[in-house]
A and B are shown apart, each in its own frame.
Chain A
């Protein structure tokens, strides 16, 4: 039996434990053996994106130590998985990188491509709009971004469409960056806030009750600009865990 490791990004661990619980639940419901490696910390992305390569490298090595013995590494974050799956290339020896990269998955990607989920016995009788966070979309290719001349596809929408009673409405410029950008949100606060407000205006115009996404970092940034925003991680809906937390 394949053994999966749950990678819970630091801010999900302390601010959004429900998202990690939902990820654990849906994987277990599907029959996977899941463990949470207890010594995991951070993938190193904040350091890498800030130009501190040496520190990022040490955290990448740390990550490998904690996760290398599993068949799958799964996290409810497009951005953190993208760090591991794409950017560790710059930080690890080639063979080590290939090994860790090919078994790392963002949860929606895993459900769609590996578990090949075709039906879900969950209901979510609400209207939602999907924000397509950048790293998941453009680095992990969870969908086809609006810039490309390729047939449209969205793995995340394919999954959401399996949920009963859900109503998905389009979000204008749904794949435009929300302005979080990690340390960008601190270094370029004014621009970051403006981008976030623009995203929120589009959400408001969509008429949806819930803004859903696959990266809590973006949702956290947007919620910080609108305390009344109702946002959910996609996996909370897919796992049937959203109704409990509402």
Chain B
């Protein structure tokens, strides 16, 4: 991993969000109980997913929502295209969905002649800049307002002015779009309805104007009841940005007259994660991004240094749990400080997961220990060798340590006598 080019600036920006989250969390006296409740609801739901998914589908169909199932990204993209074809749609407005990023829907559609407009302001910025989001809630957090002005080809970098420019341009797209695609934050099993949370109302505007709404969700997005939803809505925005609730939390239950809602339920590796008990906790994630804002590594590296579509602690867990050989290395890009565990609104044991994934990675790539670990293990296994090594280390030249610990540091000196030597002398009088 590399440091972000303006580390202090990024660190300050993300820490500001973490502080806002702290204030919001501390404004709710029962915050810690709420986290426990959310964690329990998710644990229950993901271990009874078969039941809740079927219940959800039954109720959604009853409401007039058309439900599709996709085993992987390929099938997901094909289904989206088939719906667009049915409506003769060519232009699509899309609100934020990490699942469509995961399935690489935009390039799939663009290669086939469709025009896809990301309507979340942050996503629009990275789309115009031909970049990828660096954060799941704050996709353009890595860009300064001056850079945004450049991307928008504007002279002023005033945030309000730039937002105005984006609104003006996006409005035209909203008005002329044939279809709207949104993600799903929660799907309520007993209602057959789903929830989309945004701060900009872009999902609502898009779906209200277009004749077809395509919503896409991973199988883990289910909550059993509307009561359960209340727990998550209280946690989501507070954890994400420090707001009490997202500006728009819209429940979609049935299509309005003359329109259709299509919902695609996607597996794409999730049931594989579900099959490994040790790693199922990662499926509790509600994508608030709090673990990124608090992570001391993420705040200094930025999201683009991670090699999975979702960055930060949860991204490293999900990526590695999905494909250990490809993404397992990310589990090592953490100090295991555990701050992520403590901000997580659904109490995912993120740093424990990362630890377990390290073991899984070493096993999967059957990486042979390098000489250092081999030698260290033998020494530590045998007390006599350990004592001898402690002695030898006292006389090792400074350059030996220097090589191991890099050039920016001075190396601590071993004491003239180790504690074990002093202790032995005392005992033997």
Binding site for B on A (CB under 8 A): 8, 10, 12-18, 20-21, 24, 36, 38-42, 44, 46-53, 55, 58-59, 62, 87, 90, 134-135, 138-139, 145-150, 175-177, 179-195, 198, 220-221, 223-225, 227
Contact = CB atoms under 8 A, between A and B. Distances in A.
A29 to B, nearest CB: 15
Given A40-B383, A186-B404, A190-B2, A55 B377 contact: yes
9 contacts: A13-B390, A14-B390, A14-B394, A14-B418, A38-B420, A52-B362, A147-B343, A181-B336, A224-B412
B380 interface: yes
B338 A49 contact: no
Contact of A194 (B7, B28, B333, B423): B7
B412 A149 contact: no
Contacts of B32: 148-150
Interface residues of B, number: 67
Contacts of B294: 147
B413 interface: yes
Q: What 6 A-B pairs are tightest by C-beta distance, nearest first? A: A181-B335, A51-B362, A51-B358, A147-B342, A177-B337, A224-B409
A50 B362 contact: yes
Contact of B381 (A41, A87, A184): A41
B355 A138 contact: no
Interface in B1-38: 1-3, 7, 11, 22, 25-26, 28-29, 31-32
- Among A20, A177, A183, the one with the most B-chain Cβ atoms within 10 Å of its Cβ is A177
B149 interface: no
Nearest to A40: B383
A183 B333 CA distance: 10
Contacts of A186: 404-406
B415 A16 contact: yes
B332 A187 contact: yes
A58 B361 CA distance: 20
A148 B369 CA distance: 38
Nearest to B369: A52
B339 A145 contact: yes
B5 to A, nearest CB: 12
Contacts of B301: 191
B96 interface: no
B269 interface: no
Contact of B358 (A49, A145, A198): A49
Contact of B297 (A36, A191, A227): A191
B419 interface: yes
Given A18-B415, A191-B3, A220-B412, 17 more contacts: A15-B415, A17-B418, A20-B423, A21-B422, A36-B423, A48-B359, A49-B355, A53-B359, A55-B369, A134-B335, A138-B342, A175-B339, A176-B337, A177-B337, A179-B335, A184-B332, A186-B405
A115 B93 CA distance: 65
Given A150-B32, A220-B412, A50 B343 contact: no
- Among A38, A90, A149, A223, the one with the most B-chain Cβ atoms within 10 Å of its Cβ is A149
Contacts of B412: 15, 220, 223-224
A225 B26 CA distance: 35
A134 B11 CA distance: 19
Contacts of A146: 22
Given A50-B373, A188-B1, A149 B335 contact: no
B175 to A, nearest CB: 44
B284 interface: no
Interface string B300-323: 110000000000000000000000
A47 B359 CA distance: 10
B380 A59 contact: yes
A20 B424 CA distance: 13
A12 B390 CA distance: 11
A156 to B, nearest CB: 17
Contacts of A134: 335-339
- Among B333, B377, B382, the one with the most A-chain Cβ atoms within 10 Å of its Cβ is B377
Contacts of B383: 38-41
B165 interface: no
Nearest to B401: A224
A138 B341 contact: yes
Contacts of B3: 190-191, 194
Contacts of B358: 49-51
Contact of B296 (A21, A39, A177, A224): A177
A96 to B, nearest CB: 19
Contact of A180 (B31, B335, B410, B415): B335
Contact of B405 (A87, A90, A147, A185): A185
- Among A10, A87, A220, A225, the one with the most B-chain Cβ atoms within 10 Å of its Cβ is A10
Given A224-B412, A225-B408, A13 B300 contact: no
B299 to A, nearest CB: 9
Contact of A184 (B31, B334, B377, B404): B334
Nearest to A178: B335
- Among B32, B334, B369, B408, the one with the most A-chain Cβ atoms within 10 Å of its Cβ is B408
A225 B409 CA distance: 5
A144 to B, nearest CB: 10
B381 A12 contact: no
A138 B390 contact: no
Contacts of A20: 419, 423
Contacts of B338: 134-135, 138-139
